[in-house]
Structure formats: structure tokens, C-alpha cells
Amino acid sequence: MNIGIIGAGNIGAELARKLSAAGHSVKLANSRGPESLKDIVEGTTISAVAREDVATDADVVILSMPFARNGEAASLVAHAPAGAILVDTSNYYPMRDGRIDDVESGKPETVWASEQVGRSLIKAWNAILSQTLVEAGVAPGTSGRIAIPIAGDDLAAKRVVAELVSATGFDTVDAGELVDSWRFQPGSPAYCTELTISELEAALSNASKDRSPANRDAIMQAITDGEVPMTRAAMAANNRLMSGPPGS
Ligand SMILES: NC(=O)c1ccc[n+]([C@@H]2O[C@H](COP(=O)([O-])OP(=O)(O)OC[C@H]3O[C@@H](n4cnc5c(N)ncnc54)[C@H](OP(=O)(O)O)[C@@H]3O)[C@@H](O)[C@H]2O)c1
């Protein structure tokens, strides 16, 4: 497939590496231009492009930008073919992104992002730590394979995205339509907790729309205060502890 990725940070660059290694044709763009991506694309088949060119012939466009900047992608995805599938990896952290009243009032983050972009988005790869994405992918069928949730309003598009997630090393659980995607926002038991399919299904059903934002902020405070070592294992364990265990 032709895949365009907007955002070349922790998540976008790693998705580019994994999806190109899986045989897809990947274009990668950031805000500073292709020259700034030389180190990332060197020795790979990834093409570094200007962001205006990233979506032109894409089957799938992945947005991996800071949450509040999703609107800046509207003019970029306007160049995408009408049938292109658009994916959002972003998460809302008010202390980083600034307070967004619609989201604070309960609008699911990717519903808000879809409105900013002007196209319906599939939510995927948001509920996985970047270290987990780098280190923990395994082949389909491997015992204990970590699963991540996806949500969106187009079933066929979700199937395509599930295949791509699998190519990056992870199982998926379909968490429903975009309006249901609050179930795996930051602070929920499904968010960055490294669960298998059955554990993730329980975590999604155990999510609380009311508790998640406070959990999210408490987790960020604990990290800021140095109470959580910045290792993958410690962060995932702390997320499990502070977001409530799956199924309880
Ligand atoms: N880090 C994680 O563990 C993790 C896990 C899951 C989901 N997420 C979410 O995924 C998103 C990306 O996270 P990240 O950690 O990869 O972020 P990051 O390292 O800060 O990278 C953000 C990328 O977005 C690019 N960007 C910003 N505005 C842009 C624009 N207008 N046009 C094109 N590119 C633009 C930046 O390019 P420049 O540097 O050139 O400006 C940069 O390459 C965030 O919303 C985050 O919450 C993160």
C-alpha cells in the first residue's frame, strides 16, 4: 500500500520504519521539511517528502502530530484521494496541548480531531507507549501478543488498519465507532497498559468516562514528580495501577 505519515516523532517515525520494513511504500513528512528527516530515512526505503506531497497518492494517511495541531493537517489531507483511509494516533494532554473546551466537555478526542481535519478518522496506535511500539511487536499468533484498540465509523477501513497494526507487531480489538473511542483515551484501563486481546476487551468495558481525565492528570503528575521511572515496564505498570485494573 501507499502510506503517507504526517508527523515524524516517536510514533510517526517508528510506524514509518515498521510499515516500510513490512513492504509498504511509505512517505514521511514533518513541519520542517525533508532535509530534517535525513537521519530517519537513511538506510531505509522510506521517502522523506514535503508535507504538501505526503498524501497525494496515499491509500492510507496516518496523522501523528501533537493533538492541538491536527487542524493543520486539513489542507494536507485535502490532497489525498477521496477513498484514502485517514488514521489518528494523537492524544489530548491539556497541560501540553492547552485546554480545549469541546474535549473537556466530553467530546471524544478523535471526534474533535476529525472535525478539525474535515474527514472521518480511524483512531489507532494512540494507546501504545512509543517504547512498546519499538520493542514489543511480535509475529501474529505469538503467545502473549499485546493488543491495541482501534475505533472508527467505517468497518472496511478498520479492517485495513487492523492489518497494518498487525504488520507493526500487535493484535487489535475493535472498540466500536468513533463516539466510543473515549474508552481508550489517556487515563483509561486500556491506555498504554500492554494487555492481550481478552484483557483489553475487559479493560475497554471497564472504562469510565468520568474517571479517565483525573487518572490521566494524576499519572502525568506522578511522572513529572519523578515518582515513575521512565522505563517502558515502569510506565506500563504504573498506568495499570493508576487507571484501574482491567475487568474490576
Ligand atoms: N510518545 C508516545 O509514547 C505516544 C504514544 C501514543 C500516541 N502518541 C500521540 O501521537 C502523537 C505524536 O506523538 P509523538 O510522541 O510521536 O510526538 P513528537 O515526537 O512530538 O512528534 C510530533 C511530530 O509532529 C510533527 N508536526 C507537528 N506539527 C506539524 C504540522 N503542522 N505538519 C507536519 N508535521 C507536524 C513534528 O514535526 P516538527 O518536529 O518538524 O515540528 C513531529 O515530527 C501525539 O499526539 C501523541 O500524544 C504518543
Atom of ligand 1 nearest to the CA of 36: 40
Range of the domain at 22: 2-243
pLDDT-derived band at 79, boundaries 50, 70, 90: confident
Give 55-68 as a DSSP string.
STT-SEEEE-S-GG
Task: Confirm whether 20 is domain-assigned.
Answer: yes
- Check residue 244 and give its pLDDT: 82
One-letter identity of residue 183:
R
- Cα–Cα distance between 166 and 149 in angstroms, integer? 12
pLDDT at 51: 97
Structural domain includes residue 119: yes
Q: Which of 183, 213, 178, 211 is nearest to 87 (CA)?
A: 178
Chain position carrying cell 494512540:
126
Residue 57 lies in a domain: yes
Q: Is residue 12 part of a domain?
A: yes
Q: State whether the beta carbon of 55 lies less than 6 angstroms from ligand 1.
A: no
> If you ran DSSP here, which 8-state letter would residue 90 be given?
-
From 64, 150, 168, 216, mutation site for ligand 1 pocket: most ligand atoms within 8 A of C-beta: 64
Is 153 inside any structural domain?
A: yes
Predicted confidence (pLDDT) at residue 111 exceeds the cutoff of 80: yes
Q: Which residue's alpha carbon is nearest to atom 34 within ligand 1?
A: 30
**Residue 248: per-residue pLDDT:** 45
Which residues touch 43 (CB under 8 Å, ≥6 apart)? Answer: none
pLDDT for the residue numbered 13: 98
In a domain, 44, yes or no: yes
Chain segment 176-198, per-residue pLDDT in tens: 999 999 999 999 999 999 999 99
Dihedrals phi, psi of 6, to nearest 5 degrees: -105, 115
Amino acid letter for position 114: S
CATH of residue 189's domain is 3.40.50.720
Q: What per-residue string of b and e applies to 31-54 under the rule 16 or more CB within 10 Å gives b?
A: eeebeebeebbeeeebbbbebeeb
Residue 248 falls inside a structural domain? no
CA of 202 to the centre of ligand 1 (A): 29
| Best of 39, 53, 65 for a ligand 1 pocket test (most atoms within 8 Å of beta carbon) | 65
pLDDT band of 128, cuts 50, 70, 90: very high
The protein residue whose alpha carbon is closest to atom 9 in ligand 1 is: 90
Asked if 216 and 238 count as a contact pair (C-beta separation under 8 A), the reply is no
Report the predicted TM-score, pTM, of the whole model to 2 decimal places: 0.98
Percent of the chain clearing pLDDT 70 (strictly above) = 98
Per the structure, how many domains does the chain have? 1
For residue 235 the three cell numbers come to: 510506565
Q: Write the residue with the smallest CA distance to atom 41 of ligand 1.
A: 31
Read off the pLDDT of residues 26-72 as tens digits, 9 standing for 90 and up: 999 999 999 999 999 999 999 999 999 999 999 999 999 999 999 99
Q: How confident is the model at residue 136 (pLDDT cuts 50, 70, 90)?
A: very high
